[in-house]
Amino acid sequence: MAAMSDPGCIPRNVHVSQVSRNYQVPQEYYNIVSLPSTNTDLPIKMKYCRTCRIWRPPRSSHCSTCNSCIMVHDHHCVWINNCVGRRNYRYFITFLVAATVTCILLIANCGTYLHRDSRGSHGTPVSVLLIVWGSLSMCYPATLLGYHIAMTGTQQTTREYLATIGSKNPVMHRIRPNDSNIFDTHGFLRNMGMLMAQARGPQLVDPTEMHEPGDWRFIQLP
């Protein structure tokens, strides 16, 4: 589900202007629009995507790999070959939990087998090998799971966090709450629930549907 479901792709060419001028983007579209919010000191900012020709909804970003704007875009995962966004974030977290628990169960079962096998039968080398393999395999999903738990607890996506620290590599950076984050509820569990268990929302683009040639939702304008 994390790899094959729609992460929240947004249709293209919803806000197209100056069609008679070869789809030229007006100069005012390069500005960032600030929308009012409950906190007057922290407005909600929106940017125009010059590739998809849309005003992106809040917390949406353009994925250069998928060449599409994704709702509540977290990151593009190379392991599942799909973006992680609003509609599949819960499945991605479930995938990390399942991978970590599977490695723990593998280590526990093999350790129990070695403890009971006092005679040292032919299965001992295989059990030891599986324990080593399970320990090494658990490092990445467990670390990534802990990272996303800490990230969701501060109500931040990976894209928002990297923009805050001004780097493309989150390693060696401490995860801290962003004081300018209007979506922060100032509660660790509430923040986790809002991101991990948020409503998936409607599927705006169905990759399996049939569409006629020339459908503007799938055309990249000059």
Closest CA to 155 of 126, 128, 131, 187: 187
77 is catalytic: yes
Distance CA 154, CA 180 (A): 12
Angle of CA points 90, 155, 102, to nearest 5°: 35
DSSP code, position 9: B
Distance CA 70, CA 105 (A): 35
- Would you state the structure tokens that stand for residue 158, as one six-digit string? 């990976």
- Would you state the structure tokens that stand for residue 164, as one six-digit string? 């805050």
| Residue from 9, 77, 83, 110 carrying the catalytic annotation | 77
Catalytic residues: 77
